[in-house]
Structure 1
Amino acid sequence: MPAVGDAKREYPGLIDRKDAALKAWLEKRPREAALEPDLPIIDPHHHFWDTPQRGHYFLPELLADIGGGHNIVSTVFLECQAMYRKHGPAEMAPVGEVEFVNGIAAMSASGNYGPCRVAEGIVGYADLRIGARVRDVLEAEIAVAGGRFRGIRQGVAWDEHDSISRHASRKVPLHLVRDKTFREGFAQLAKLGLSFESWQYHPQLSDAVDLTRAFPDTTIILDHVGGVLGVGPYAGRRQEILQSWAKDIRAMAECPNVAVKLGGLGMTSFGFDFHERDVPPSSEELAAAWRPYIETCIEAFGVNRCMFESNFPPDKQSCGYTELWNAFKRITANASAAEKTALYSGTAARVYRLTAP
C-alpha cells in the first residue's frame, strides 16, 4: 500500500494540478488497455466546472477521458457550484447549475458526441437550512432539468482541524444534519421523489446514520466510501481509522434505504501519495491501495447497493480514467457476471432511474 503523507503536511486540497500540468503528468504513463472492454458501465458521479481555482472540465474533457476503451454507457452529474445564477434570490442560484448541465445533457442526447448518455441523471444543490421553503428551489430545479433531476447533495463535511476544514467546499457547522430546520428541508425530498447524497468525512458517519434512520423513506447515497481522511492529523493512522470506519460502514449498511458509491479514493484527502509521484500509478497499484475500502463496502452493503464511480475530475489528481476503471475491475476480477452487472451499472440504473444497459 502506498505510503501515507507526512502528518505535518497540510491537507493539499482536492485540486492541486490543473489542466495542462495535470495532462502532462498523466501522459508520463502510457494509457493502459481497458480490461473487460465490453462490460457496460454507468458512471454515477462526475462534475463539470470552469473556474480559475479548479480549471476547465466540460463535455470535451469528459469525452476524452471516457474514450479510453471502457464501455461507459451513461453518466450522472453531481453538483459542484458550477454556473450559479448571478441575479435573483440567493437560494435560487443553484437552479442555474441544473439548467447548465441539462444543456450539456441535451447535447449528448443528440448522439452527435458519441453513444454515451452524458448527464442522463442530474444531482443538484439546494440549501436545506432554509427549511420547508426549499421545496420552491427543488421544484424550480425539476422544472429546468428536462426530466433528468434526481436529487440533491448538500455537503456537510466538517472537521475541527483547520488543515482539513479550510479546504471544504462549503463552511458548515458541526452536526448540521441533526438541525431541526435542516431536517424540515430534508423532509421535502421524499415528497418529490428525490434522493440525498451524503458527503461528509469519516468522523461524521454517526451523524449520517442518525439522519438515515430518521428518514427511512428517503433514498440516501453515501458518497466516496464515507469520506475517509488520511491527511493532516489523520496521516499515519490508516489501520486505526480503517477499523473504526468499517464499524460505521456496517452500521450505515443496516439501513435499507442507503446505497454507497465506491470511489473518491483518488482525492488527495484520502492520504495516498499517488499525486506526489513522478509517474502516475498503474491500475495494479491503485487496486492494492483501494481494495480494503471497496471490499469492506461490498461485504457490508451487498452488490445491489454498491456502485463504482469515477469522481472525475477530482480523482484525476491520482490517475487516469482508464486506469481507475481497470483498478476497479482488478478488485472485482473474481465476481460473477451478475455481481459485476450490479456494481458497474445495475445499482446506479435503479437508484438514479436511468436506462439499464
Structure 2
Amino acid sequence: MKKVFGFIIVSALALWGCSSDYTVLESSDSVILTADSSVKRFGDTITFTVRDNNGIEHTNDAVFYVDGTAIEGNKLTSAVVSTHNVKATYYDLTSDNVEVSFGDGTELNFRKRVLIEDYTGTWCGYCPRVAYAIDLVHGQSDDAVTVAIHRPSSDMLSIVYDPYNFDASELEATLNIPSYPKGFLNRKVLWTSPEPNNIAQAIALTQGANPKLGLALKPIVNGNNLTLDVSAQFGADFSGLKLVVYVLENGLLYEQHNYTSYFDGVDVLENYTHNHVLRACLTPILGEAVPDSETKLYGIYTKTFNTTLPANISNAANVEFVAFLVGADGKAINVRKAAAGDAQDFEML
C-alpha cells in the first residue's frame, strides 16, 4: 500500500551559507473512522472524525461516503428512521465501515424489575409476614429487588430497638403510614395485606410495557474502599428524575420476633437470617436530581461514587448494591442490584 508522508521543511540562513533541516513525520498506514454516536434521534446530527494510526486527525482532508455516495463535510442527519453504512477516504487510504442509525426510541426497551421496600424490625412480631411474602415472590420471579429497611430505633433501651435500624423517617413521612409492617412496591404502591396472599400484585409490576430506561452497575470493593459506577440509558426523553443508591448487607444473624403462623409460628426466631438490610444510602434517600440534559433519548448518564464501605458493615463479602431512578411522582421507574465485582451491561430487550 502507498504510504502518505508529511514533510516539514525548516530552512535557516546562516552567516557562512544556507542550510536546510528536514523532518519526516511518521507515515500513515491506515485511517480510523469514528462517530460521536452510533445512534441518534432522527433529525439530530451525527458527526464523524478521521484519524490515522498515529492518532493524527485528518477529518478536514477526508472524504466521507454514506451508503456509497460521497457527502459534503463530516456530518450526517436524517429526517426519518434509518440505518446507514459510512466509510472515509484520506488520499489512498480507506477506513473500515461504520454503521450508524437514526431512530425514534421504539426499538430501545429494557428489562422490567420491581423494587420492594420492606419496612421491618427485629422487634416487630408481624413483620415476618412480609418477609414470607418476599420469599414467595423471589420463588416465582427473578425480577424483584428487595430492600429491608429496619425501623425505628437505635436506642438499646427501647422496646422497638433494632440493631440494624436505618433512619428512613424522611422517606416514611411521604408514605403517611406510621405502622409496621408495611411493604411498598416501586416506592409508592402499598403492598396489600396480607402480602403472602397478594404476591400477584408484586409480580404484576414486572409485567406489561417495558420501561424506557435501564440501569447497569459496576461496584468494585478493594479492602475498605468502594468505587461504584451507576449508569442509566434512556429510550425516551425524561425530566425530573432522581437517582437513589443503596448499600445493603446479607447474612446478618439476629433474633426475630414472630407473632404469625409463618416460619412454623415460632416466637422468637433465634439466629434468624436478615438479608437485603439497608446499611447506607449514597444519595439522599429521596433521591439525587439527575440533570434533564442527561436524560434524553439515546443518552447515557453515569454517576461514580468513590467512598469507603459503611462502618456498620459486618462482612464485606455479603454487601450488595441497589440503584433505581424515580420520576417526578416519586415512583421507581426501574431498579437494578449488583454484587461487588459485577460489571453489568444494560438489559436491553
Answer whether TM exceeds 0.5 for this pair: no
Structure with a larger share of its residues in helix: 1
TM superposition score normalised by structure 2: 0.27
Return the structure number with greater strand share.
Answer: 2
Task: Say which one has the larger Rg.
Answer: 2
